Each structure stands twice: as C-alpha cells, then as structure tokens.
Amino acid sequence: MNIIDVRGLSRTYKKFTAVDSINFSVAPGECYGLLGTNGAGKTSTLEVLEGLAAPSAGTVEVLGGDPRRDRVTLRPRMGIMLQRGGLPSGLTVRETMKLWAGTCSNPQPADAVLDQVDLLHKADTKVGALSGGEQRRLDLACALLGGSELIFLDEPTTGLDPESRRNVWRLLRELKESGVTMVLTTHYLEEAEYLCDRLCILHRGRIELEGTLAELVETRASEIVLEPALVPETHASQAIYEGDRVIVHTNNLVTDTHGILAWAQDNGVTYTHFAARPATLEDVFLSIAEGVK
C-alpha cells in the first residue's frame, strides 16, 4: 500500500492553473522529490498533500486518508517543514520546541532533536536572534520532533552554508534508511541526487518526467567533445561541428567512446582534446525548463 496516492490533482487560483491534473504515488520508506523552476507547482502540490489546501480537482490519499478531511487524525503522523517557517521570534529555541511538541502525539526529546540539527547550543537563544540558516534548521527540528512516519520538506536546505547543508543531507538519509517516508522540493539538484529514490520534474503545473535518477538521465544524450573535428562516418549523423571541434551526441557513451578511439588509432588521427561527458540531472532539468524535449 502506498503512503501517498495522487490522481488527477489540479489546483487553480482564479484563472491561473498552478497544478494541472498530475498523478503520482509514494511508497513506504521512499524519498520522492518534486523538482521544477519557481512557479512550477511544487509548493502548491505539497500544500494539498499536507492538508493545508483543498484540491480544485482530483483525489489525494495520504496515510490512507484524506489529508484535509482527516487532518485531525493524520496531522500527528506527519512532519511538515514549510518553505517559510514563520516561528515566533520572541520565543527561545527550547520554548519553540515545547510549543511545537503540543501538536505531536508522541514528541521526541527536544534536546535530542536539537542536537541532531546542531542547535542544542542555541537552545536558550531567541528565534529572532538566530541567523537565517539557524532558523531553517529550527524549522527542520520542528518537523522531526514528532518522530513522524511521513515528512514533507519544502526546500529544506535553502539558506544553509555548504557544511550545514551536507549535515542535513546525512541526517535525512539516515531517517530514510530507518524507514521514514519523505517528500521534498528543492532547487539543489545535487540534493535531489543524494536523497531521492524517485523524482518528478514539474513544468507549468504538469509532470513532464518521472522516474529514478538513472531513468531521467537516460532521456538525454551524453556528449563526446573532440578536437580536431574528425569523426568516423558511422558517427557523422550524431555530430555537431563547432569550428575546430565536434560534439558527438550519444546514448551509448562507453561503446561510442571506444569506437571513436579505435577509429582514430586505425586512421592516424591524434586528438588534442577528447572529453566524454555523461548526461546529468541538470541537463534533463534545463531541457524541460527551456522547453527542449
């Protein structure tokens, strides 16, 4: 049984369609990533899953129930990290955790959770005195406080320095390995690669691609860049010439690399530049964002 099932979900604001009839599911213990440019529909989708907004059309099932109709029973089973936390600035970090614990059916020890996000030394500091990155880590601590089986993370590492970001990644991976299900949005493609079992890329409210990282990357060709601009005839149809160099697009990088090198050796061709570049998630993302399918 899936933790989340989404069928035909749409969400509109007056005449603007933010989410346009999307379908996806999330299995137990999976980390599912929602990617897309600003305005693609990521947060609008999360808000429906969290029970914070009603769908305009379609059905959503979370933990076996309707996240809006059954929010009283479902909310204690979910951890939610909003894109903007908005925690009371006049409370200390520990007071904030105590306040948040009141929304949890089985809150974890606050100090232990603060230690997980490296904020225990700030426990008696007022929220308003925290840096932006520290406030973001407090948002995460609140989401983890309930020991929930399902956690929603809306851009969880925005504003964090590189070291803190990687520490959060390690923590989230440990939670996933312990069986926690996660749904996250992020603009950091490396974050998605590190954490997500499956991904979907949203564009103008629609899911353009969905699958594992390997499945998404397979949709884009890899590149072999050569100087001088000489390639065997068998690869001419894959080649784009740019002055003194040629770029060969390939869906079989290893085989074509070996083939071109063997041809060059047999024909006395010496390349002054030879680079084989596998396709990346960034290539896939940009191709959709720029309208190249």
Beta-carbon contacts of 7 under 8 Å, excluding residues fewer than 6 positions away, are 23, 58, 59, 60
Q: 206: which strand partners?
A: 203
pLDDT at 175: 94
- Asked if residues 11 and 45 have their Cβ atoms less than 8 Å apart, the reply is yes
CATH number of 4-217: 3.40.50.300
Q: Quote the CA–CA distance of 133 and 159 in Å, as a whole number.
A: 5
Which residues of the chain are under the pLDDT cut of 70?
292-293
> ω into residue 107 within 30 of 0, thus cis?
no
Task: Give the pLDDT confidence score for residue 290 in this predicted structure.
Answer: 82
**Residue 281 and residue 216 in contact, taking contact as beta carbons nearer than 8 Å:** yes
Letter for the amino acid at 112?
A: A
Task: Say how far apart CA 34 and CA 21 lie, in whole Å.
Answer: 15
State the DSSP code for 84: S
292 vs 284: CA distance, rounded Å = 9
Question: Under 8 Å CB-to-CB from 121, ≥6 apart: which residues?
Answer: none
Q: Where are the CATH 3.40.50.300 domain residues in the chain?
A: 4-217
pLDDT at 87: 86
Give the pLDDT confidence of 237-262 residue by residue, as tens digits: 889 999 999 999 998 899 999 999 99
Residue labelled with tokens 């999307």: 22
Phi-psi group of 8: left, alpha or beta (phi > 0 → left; psi -120 to 50 → alpha; rest → beta): left
**DSSP strand pairing (245-250 vs 239-242):** antiparallel
- pTM reported for the whole predicted model: 0.87
Residue 275 and residue 11: Cα distance in Å, rounded? 45
| CB atoms closer than 10 angstroms to residue 108 | 17
